[in-house]
């Protein structure tokens, strides 16, 4: 069919109107596609970069993870070891605590007994021979201190007991200044002690002898008659100035309160 000139003109007019609109729509689509493509390229490039970086750091991270796991294992083993040691230390502390309580109780008991022994030693002093009592003056003064520690108290008590034991095992003879009953003033005499039991005091010039022994209230001296010669011979034998022999001398044996 042949188109009329008028129809062709109409078509051309419509085509001239629709073509710019189509071209504009096509440009928008292309721009959108380009924008999407650009974003995709960027995203892809970033993804590749991250994958590459992750690939390069994965080994380092894995080694760090392995190191941390190994460290965690070591720490766990140390923790278990410390728990075992702590349990042992706790048991040892409990055992030491019990021993400490036992020792404290024993120390308190020993201290109480030591205080009783101290009282006995202090009460014993008046009954000791004067020479020994004088020699133990410092130990007795220290022992009488109420603030003395247990260790020091024990040391002084042992000092007194040891000196008494040594004195009791020996015969001691020497000069000594004594205050005697019936005498106006103290005088220097020749004195012999037979251990802790008794002793003799000789005034050679006056020919007097005194027998010393523990009495009801302490050590006491009693004048003796007609024994000066026997005591003088005893002193001579003790000093190796005479041959040993049997000599009869007065003596007192038994409890001082009897």
* Residue spans of beta strands (DSSP E) within 78-217: 171-178, 187-194, 198-203, 208-215
Tokens representing 211 are: 């027998």
Q: What is the pLDDT of residues 62-112, one digit of tens each?
A: 788 888 888 888 898 888 888 888 888 888 888 888 888 887 787 778 888
Tell me how crowded residue 129 is: count the other CB atoms within 10 A of its CB.
Answer: 25
Residue 218 has pLDDT above 90, yes or no: yes
Q: What does R_g of the chain's alpha carbons equal in angstroms?
A: 59
Query: What pLDDT score was predicted for residue 98?
Result: 85
Q: How confident is the model at residue 258 (pLDDT cuts 50, 70, 90)?
A: very low
Return the domain boundaries, the chain: 113-169, 171-258
Q: What is the pLDDT of residues 129-161, one digit of tens each?
A: 999 999 999 999 999 888 888 889 999 999 999
| Most confidently predicted of 19-33, 45-59, 216-230 | 216-230
Residue 171: beta bridge partners?
194
Instruction: Kindly report whether the global pTM for this prediction surpasses the value 0.85.
Output: no
Query: What pLDDT score was predicted for residue 73?
Result: 87
> What stretch of H or E contains 74?
helix 5-124
Residue 128: beta bridge partners?
none
Tell me how crowded residue 12 is: count the other CB atoms within 10 A of its CB.
Answer: 10
- Assess contact for 163 and 101: CB atoms under 8 A: no
Residue 92: beta bridge partners?
none
Determine the Cα–Cα distance for residues 113 and 111; give it in Å rounded to an integer. 5
Q: What mean pLDDT do residues 243-247 have? A: 85
Q: What is the pLDDT of residues 175-204, one digit of tens each?
A: 999 999 888 899 999 999 999 999 999 999
**What average pLDDT does the chain have?**
84
Half-sphere exposure of 3 (CA within 13 A, CB side): 8
Q: What mean pLDDT do residues 211-220 have? A: 92
Residue 26 has pLDDT above 80, yes or no: no
């Amino acid at each position: 069919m042949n188109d009329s000139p008028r129809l062709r003109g109409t078509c051309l007019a419509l085509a001239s109107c629709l073509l710019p609109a189509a071209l504009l729509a096509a440009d928008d689509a292309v721009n959108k596609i380009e924008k999407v493509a650009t974003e995709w390229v960027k995203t892809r490039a970033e993804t590749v970069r991250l994958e590459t970086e992750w690939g390069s750091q994965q080994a380092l991270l894995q080694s760090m993870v392995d190191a941390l796991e190994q460290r965690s294992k070591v720490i766990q083993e140390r923790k278990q070891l410390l728990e075992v040691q702590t349990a042992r230390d706790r048991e040892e502390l409990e055992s030491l605590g019990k021993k400490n309580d036992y020792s404290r109780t024993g120390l308190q008991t020993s201290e109480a007994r030591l205080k009783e022994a101290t009282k006995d030693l202090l009460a014993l002093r008046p009954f000791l021979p004067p020479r020994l009592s004088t020699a133990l003056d410092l130990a007795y003064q220290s022992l009488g201190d109420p603030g003395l520690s247990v260790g020091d108290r024990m040391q002084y008590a042992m000092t007194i007991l040891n000196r008494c034991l040594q004195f009791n095992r020996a015969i001691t003879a020497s000069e000594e200044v004594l205050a005697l009953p019936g005498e106006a003033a103290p005088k220097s005499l020749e004195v012999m002690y037979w251990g802790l039991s008794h002793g003799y005091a000789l005034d050679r010039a006056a020919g007097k002898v005194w027998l010393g022994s523990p009495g009801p209230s302490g050590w006491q001296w009693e004048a003796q008659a007609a024994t000066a010669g026997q005591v003088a011979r005893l002193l001579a034998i003790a000093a190796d100035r005479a041959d040993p022999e049997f000599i009869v001398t007065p003596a007192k044996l038994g409890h001082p309160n009897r």
